């Protein structure tokens, strides 16, 4: 699952609020004087605010928007590596990025040199995961390989939705039911669920008979459907909602943190964002509030920092709650 969605978009990441770069030199988008730039974890501005918008780095490149509202990609020195030309674009994943070209041909894929490696032709194009990407042309959904060729024949008609591959499986929606395909296209978990999320840490949240529970990779129900909503496991805990609010369960199905919050994010770096009394703060894995609820919205921690909102301004805090970058418009 992606991070929990904000009530409205953040100026520093309106298209994607993905995880910042996984390298030690992680950079974070900031906003200053109506333009986006980047800071490092030491609060130093390393790429001056000169872009209309800036998004998180992925595989060493970040999507940025110029004043003409065209998207391109920069490296961590702030140099434009792929020129501003796209009306829409996605992060790089496994060396390729889905981009939409301006002449109406649809979505295709480029490599890090900006070479078009899969011709724009799709109505929708997802990111590559485990060597495959979900796409939709004007007729149907399917998975393609890195050459742009169909990976296999999907064994169901009327496919309505495809998930990304994760831990060797991807969910599929057909006939209003969800199941899971392996990477050969075999339906190893038949479509029997009313809804489903991708596998994470060996479990997938699924909806059966109106309630959410969790299955393992063999399709065995490991945590009985008992929740109004459920999200993926992260750091051994999964978000679940009951009539009392959102809380967390462990992989045995035991309640680890009692349902009590209006909204929650996933655990990341030992902390999870939670909404309490109309404000957001952070708890630890014991359910203790370690950063008081004081923000209008908060994203998960990545590389020691979390993006937080105060009013319409956004900034960063560290894991102690200290302000690293004061919220700015």
Q: Could you tell me the mean pLDDT of each successive run of 10 residues in the chain, 329 residues long?
A: 43 40 76 92 94 96 97 98 97 98 88 96 96 91 96 93 97 96 97 98 98 98 98 98 98 98 98 97 98 98 96 95 90
3-state secondary structure 134-176: EEECCCCEEEECCCCCECCCCCCCCEEEECCCECCEEEEEECC
User: How far is the C-alpha of 238 from the C-alpha of 251, rounded, in Å?
Assistant: 8
pLDDT tens profile 63-111: 999 999 999 999 999 999 999 999 999 999 999 999 998 777 899 999 9
Q: Positive or negative, the Cα torsion across 233, 237, 241, 245? A: negative
HSE toward the beta carbon, residue 236, CA cutoff 13 A:
11
Q: pLDDT at position 167, please?
A: 98
Q: pLDDT at position 24, please?
A: 60
Q: pLDDT at position 64, please?
A: 98
User: How far is the C-alpha of 12 from the C-alpha of 15, rounded, in Å?
Assistant: 9
- Give the count of beta carbons closer than 10 Å to the beta carbon of residue 165: 25
Which DSSP state fits 45?
Answer: E
Q: Decide the pairing of beta strands 80-86 and 88-89.
A: unpaired
């Amino acid at each position: 699952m992606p991070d929990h969605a904000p009530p409205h978009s953040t100026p520093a990441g309106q298209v994607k609020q993905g995880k910042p770069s996984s390298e030690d030199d992680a950079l974070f988008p900031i906003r200053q004087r109506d333009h986006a730039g980047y800071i490092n974890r030491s609060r130093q501005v390393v790429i001056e605010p000169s872009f209309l918008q800036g998004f998180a780095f992925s595989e060493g490149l970040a999507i940025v928007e110029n004043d003409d509202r065209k998207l391109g990609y920069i490296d961590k020195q702030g140099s434009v590596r792929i020129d501003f030309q796209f009306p829409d674009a996605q992060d790089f994943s496994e060396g390729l990025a889905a981009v939409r070209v301006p002449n109406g041909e649809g979505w295709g894929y480029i490599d890090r040199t900006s070479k078009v490696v899969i011709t724009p032709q799709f109505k929708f194009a997802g990111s590559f995961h485990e060597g495959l990407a979900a796409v939709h042309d004007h007729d149907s959904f399917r998975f393609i390989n890195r050459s742009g060729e169909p990976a296999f024949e999907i064994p169901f008609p009327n496919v309505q939705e495809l998930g990304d591959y994760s831990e060797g499986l991807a969910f599929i929606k057909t006939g209003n039911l969800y199941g899971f395909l392996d990477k050969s296209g075999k339906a190893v978990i038949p479509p029997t669920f009313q809804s489903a999320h991708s596998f994470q840490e060996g479990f997938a949240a699924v909806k059966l008979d109106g309630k959410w529970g969790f299955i393992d990779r063999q399709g065995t129900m490991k945590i009985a459907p008992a929740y109004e909503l459920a999200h993926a496991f992260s750091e051994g805990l999964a978000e679940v909602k009951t009539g009392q609010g959102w809380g967390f369960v462990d992989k045995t199905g035991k309640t680890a943190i009692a349902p009590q919050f209006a909204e929650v994010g996933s655990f990341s770096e030992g902390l999870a964002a939670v909404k309490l009394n109309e404000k957001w703060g952070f708890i630890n894995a014991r359910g203790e509030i370690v950063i008081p609820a004081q923000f209008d919205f908060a994203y998960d921690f990545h590389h020691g920092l979390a993006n937080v909102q105060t009013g319409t301004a956004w900034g960063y805090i560290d894991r102690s709650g200290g302000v690293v970058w004061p919220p700015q418009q």
